[in-house]
Amino acid sequence: MSYPDSPEISEEHEALIHFLHLAPVGLVQADLDGTIAMINPISAQLLLPLSRDGNLENLFTALESVAPSLRHVCAEFSPSQGVICDAMYIHFNAGLLGNSTQTIASLTIVKLDKSRLMAVLSDVTLQVKRERELKQSGAWINAILTSITDYTKLSLDRLGRIDAWNKSIGRVMGFEGEALVGQPYSIFYPPEATTPEHLTDRLREADENGWSLDEGLRVRADGSHFWSSAMISPLRDRDPLLGAGSEGESNDPAYSLIIRDISDKQEASERQHKATFCDYLTGLANRRAFFEAAELELERRKQSTRPTAMIMFDADHFKTVNDRFGHPAGDAVLRHLAAALSATFRNFDVVARIGGEEFAVLLPSTELAAAVAAANRLRTLVNATPVVVDGESISYTVSAGVAAMDDSISGLDGLMKRADQALYAAKARGRNRVDCWTPDCPTYQEHQNGSIHSA
C-alpha cells in the first residue's frame, strides 16, 4: 500500500501503526480474500497456535480449523461496509502449543470498504468462566430466595431413585408419595427431556461441587408442566466413598432433592436466556450457547464414557434463494429450517444456528447410526415441505455431515472438524444428502478449490 509523500500523512500513518501495536485487543487488517495486510502482536499471539507452518498470511486460513464458514460468511456480505459478525465466540485449543487450556476468543469483523476488512480479536476465556459462575450462583441464590411454601423435598438413593418424601409432594407435584418409591427422579421431567447418563451426571456434579441446580420444565402427576428449579445436594451422613454408580448397597439415602415451583419467574428467566443464548432470527441456540453446552457435554463424557454424535447442516444453494426471492424470503427459509430442526430432535439435543445458513446439532448418548437416521429425517422433512412467502412457494434442500466422538479426537474442535468435512463431502457429491465422516473426506480448502467434484 502506497501513501502520499506528505509529512502530515506519514505522521498519521506512523501514529496508526503505533496504535495497532499498543492496542489492548487484537487487530488485523485484511483484504476481502483474507490476505493479512497488518496485524498487531495480540492477534499474532492468539492466531499463531492455529498456524501449521508458523505463518500468518491469511486470516481465513488461520481460522479455518475453528471457524470454517468464516470465509463464506464474509464473501456473502454484500454491503460495501458494515459489521459482518459481532463478538462471535471462537473456541480453540491452545494445546497445539503444549497447553491443554481451552481458549475462547471474541471475534468482530467489520468491512471497512469494498476492499478491506478489519478484525478485532480478544481473549475472553476468563470472562466466559466468570459469566458461567455468576449464572450458576444467580440460579442458586434465586432458588434460596423462593418462597418456602412452594417447594417439596425428597431423598434419593445413590443411584438417583426416590427413597422418601415430605408431605408437600402432593401439593406441589400431585403425586402420592408411596407410588414414587424406587422411581428415578426423572419421573418429574418431561419425556425426552433428559437421559439416564445426564441424571447420573447431576449426582456426580453434586458430589464434586456440594450441589447441582438446574431450571426448566417439570411434570406433575396429571401431566401438566410448570417452571421449576431443582437442586440436588449430598447428604452429610452418607459414606462419601459411595458416589453415584459405585458398587455396593444402593438403597440408602444419599442425596436431597428440592423442587421449587418458580413459574412466576419463568418469563423473566426465559427473556434473559433468549437475550444471551438465542439466535435473534431463528430462536435456536446461538453459537455461544452451542459451544458452552457442547463443551459441558464432552467434559461429562470424560467422566463417564457414552456415545456422542454431531451433525452439521447447511441449506443448499442458499445464495440463489436470496438472489431470486430476496433476503426476507431467505430469512423465512432459515426460520422454516429452524422449526424443522426443533421438531426433529429431542429436547436435550443441542440445536443451534452457528452462522449464516449453517446449523449444528450435538446428540448426547447417541450412536452414529442413530444420528444418521435423525439427519435423514430432517433432510426428508425439509425436502417435502416448501416454504410459502407472499404466496410464492420456495423449495429448498439441506446437506448434512455426521461424525461421532471417539478416543482419537481431542475435543470439540476435532468433532466439529470431522462433521464439517462430512458436510463438505455431502455438498460435493450432489447435495440433498447425508454423509458420515471418513478419513478420506475432503477438507474445507479442497472443497473451496473444487478438487472434489460432485457425484
Cα end-to-end distance, the chain, whole Å: 44
Does residue 207 belong to any structural domain of this protein? yes
What's the angle, vertex CA 120, arms to CA 116 and CA 125, rounded to 5?
A: 155
Give the Cα separation of 184 and 203 in Å (integer): 12
pLDDT at 229: 84
CB 242 within 8 A of CB 166: no
pLDDT tens digits for range 44-71 = 888 887 776 667 899 988 887 677 668 8
Say yes or no: 445 and 323 in one domain.
Answer: yes
Does residue 267 belong to any structural domain of this protein? no
Strands 358-364, 387-389: pairing is unpaired
Task: Identify residue 257 by its one-letter amino acid code.
Answer: L
- Compute CA distances 245 → 56, 135, 196, 203, 208, whole Å: 49, 28, 12, 9, 14
Does residue 129 belong to any structural domain of this protein? no
Say yes or no: 282 and 395 in one domain.
Answer: yes
CB 401 within 8 A of CB 425: yes
pLDDT at 152: 87
How buried is residue 417: exposed, middle or buried, by Cβ count under 10 Å (0-12/13-18/19+)?
Answer: buried
pLDDT at 1: 43
Say yes or no: 300 and 441 in one domain.
Answer: yes
Give the Cα separation of 227 and 216 in Å (integer): 5
Reported residue count of the chain is: 455
Strands 225-234, 151-157: pairing is unpaired
What does pTM read for this prediction? Answer: 0.62
pLDDT at 316: 95
Q: Give the range of the structural domain holding residue 211, as residue numbers without chain letter.
A: 147-261
Distance of CA 167 to the CA centre of its chain: 40
CB 365 within 8 A of CB 373: no
The one-digit pLDDT tens for each residue of the chain (455 residues) are 444 555 555 555 555 555 555 567 888 999 999 999 988 888 888 888 777 666 789 998 888 767 766 887 888 888 888 999 888 777 765 433 334 456 788 889 999 999 999 999 888 877 776 666 655 555 555 555 554 457 888 999 989 999 988 888 888 889 887 889 999 999 999 887 888 888 898 898 888 888 888 888 899 999 998 888 888 989 866 554 445 554 445 556 789 998 988 887 666 656 655 556 688 889 898 888 888 888 888 888 887 788 999 999 999 999 999 899 998 999 999 999 999 999 999 988 999 998 889 999 999 999 999 999 999 999 999 999 999 998 899 999 999 999 999 888 878 888 998 999 999 999 999 999 999 998 877 665 555 555 443 33
Say yes or no: 416 and 338 in one domain.
Answer: yes
Q: Which long-range contacts (CB under 8 A, 24 or more apart) does 84-91 make?
A: 84/109, 84/110, 84/111, 84/117, 85/109, 85/355, 88/287, 88/355, 89/124, 89/128, 89/287, 89/288, 89/291, 90/63, 90/66, 91/66, 91/291, 91/295, 91/412, 91/413
Say yes or no: 52 and 119 in one domain.
Answer: yes
> Into how many domains does the chain fold?
3
Does residue 17 belong to any structural domain of this protein? yes
